[in-house]
Structure 1
Amino acid sequence: MTNMNYKKIAIALGLSAFVLTGCANNTASNTQKGAGIGAVVGALIGKGTGDNDKSRYAWGAVVGAIAGGAIGKYMDNQEQEFREELADSGIEVRREGDNLRLIMPGNITFETGKANISGNFYPVLNDVALVINKYEKTTLQVVGHTDNVGGDSQNQSLSEFRATAVKNYLTNNGVDNRRVTTLGMGESQPIASNSNANERQKNRRVELTIVPLNN
C-alpha cells in the first residue's frame, strides 16, 4: 500500500473518531450514524485499498449502491442476521462504523500450519455465505493472518492460502467472485503477544470485512 493510501486511511480513522465522538453525546442509532460514518470511512478507506477498490466499483456497477442514509439500516439488519446465524459458532462479529468484520480463529477453521478448512467448520461457513448472499450490496475482503512460528516467507504464503481457501469456499456456495478480494498479512498484525500457545492461537485467524456499496 502506498504512503498516500496510508494517509487516506489515517484521515478516515481520524474523521470517523470525530463522528463517533459526536454520536456519543446523543442517542443516535447505528442507522443515523451510518449516513455520517459511512460517507467518511467507507469512501476514504475504500479508495485506499487498491484491488479492493476495483472490486467495489465492478460489483457496484452490477447491483448498484445504497443511498447514504439507508446504509446504517442495511448493515444493522445484516449484522443482526450474522449474530443470529453465528451464535456459539466461534466467529466474532464486530461492527466498525458501517462495516462488519467477522473474525474466524484458526483453532476452528484450520489445523496448525495448514490451509485446508477443517471439515466441522463447513456448516458455519455455509451460514456465513447464506447471509452474505442475502445482502448483495456489499463487497468483501478476506484477510489471512498467522502467528510468529516459522519463517516470514512461509507465514506470508500460509496467510494468503488461508484467505484464498475461505474465499473459494464462499464462492462455491453462491457468493459472486466479483465481490471478493483476498489479502495475506503473514505474522505482521498480531492481536496477541505470541508468548505462549494460547496467545499464538489468537493470531492464527482469518478476518472477513464486509463493506457496503455507497454512492
Structure 2
Amino acid sequence: MKAWIVILAALGLVACTTTDPYTGEQRTSRTAAGAGIGAVAGAVIGAASASRSDRRRGAVTGAIAGGAIGGGVGAYMDRQERKLREQLQGTGVQVQREGDIIYLIMPGNITFDVNSHHVRSEFFEVLNSVALVVQEFDKTVIEVSGHTDSTGSDAINNPLSERRASSVGDYLISQRVSRDRIHTVGYGSRYPIASNATAEGREANRRVELELIPVGD
C-alpha cells in the first residue's frame, strides 16, 4: 500500500492538464503523469484509486512492475484507451479511466439474460473487439469482476456474479487472450455504483467490469 501511495505522489508531481478528445473535459495527461514514476523500482500494484481501494483482490494484489513503471506507461494506456473507445463506441460498454487503469463496464442487461451466466451470442462481437485490443496491448493484467444488485440473497448473488465474471474471462481466453493475464472474481452486491432503491440503479449495478492494469514496460 505504501508503494502505491508513492506512485500516486509521483503522478501528482508531474501531471499536466489536457482536454479529453471524447468528452471535452479537462483531465490529467497520463503520458506526463507516468514520466515521474521511472525512479520507483519494483512498485507494487495496489489499490486502483481511493474510490476503489477496497476492491483490490486476487492476481493484481502483489503484481510487480517489471523493473519500474516509467514514463511510457501513460502513453501506452492512452493508446489502448483510444483504441477501446473506437472499437466500443455505440455498444453500451462504458470506458472509464482512473490514473493508468482502464475500466470497461459491461451492463448485465446487454451481456446476459436474466439470472443467466451465459454470455449472449449477440455480445460476442463486442467481446471479440475487446480481445483484439487487449491482445495488441499485452502489458496489462485483466481483472474481470462480476456484480449484482441487492435483490436476492448473497447465496444467489455471489455465485451468479462469479459465474458471470468467469464466463467473460473464459470467452476472452477462447479468443487467444493469455490465461495468465486474466483473473476473475465475483463481488455479488457489495460494490454498487448506483442506488439499489430504483430500477435504474439496480440495472446499473448488474454488471461485469474489466480492469486493465499496467504491469511494466
- What TM-score do you get using the length of structure 2 for normalisation? 0.80
Whether contact under 8 Å (2:37, 2:69) holds in the other structure is no
Give the structure 1 partner of residue 34 of structure 2.
Answer: 34
- The alignment partner of 1:188 has SS state of coil
- Report 1:131-170 matches (<5 A): 131-170=133-172
Give the structure 1 partner of residue 95 of structure 2.
Answer: 93
Residue 23, structure 1, aligned to residue 11, structure 2:
no
Q: CA RMSD in A?
A: 3.0
Identity value in percent: 41
Structure 2 counterpart of 1:52, one-letter code:
V
Shift of 1:213: 1.5
- The alignment partner of 1:68 has SS state of coil
- What TM-score do you get using the length of structure 1 for normalisation? 0.80
Whether contact under 8 Å (2:149, 2:206) holds in the other structure is yes
Structure 1 or 2: larger strand share?
Answer: 2
Distance 1:67 1:185, change over 3 A: closer
Q: Deviations over 1:87-114 (max 9, x none)?
A: 0111111111111110111111011221
Segment drifting more, 193-202 vs 96-105:
193-202
Give the structure 2 partner of residue 201 of structure 1.
Answer: 203
Query: Which ranges of structure 2 fall in alignment gaps of 5 or more residues?
Result: 19-27, 49-55
Whether contact under 8 Å (1:141, 1:180) holds in the other structure is yes
Aligned residues: 199
Give the structure 2 partner of residue 128 of structure 1.
Answer: 130
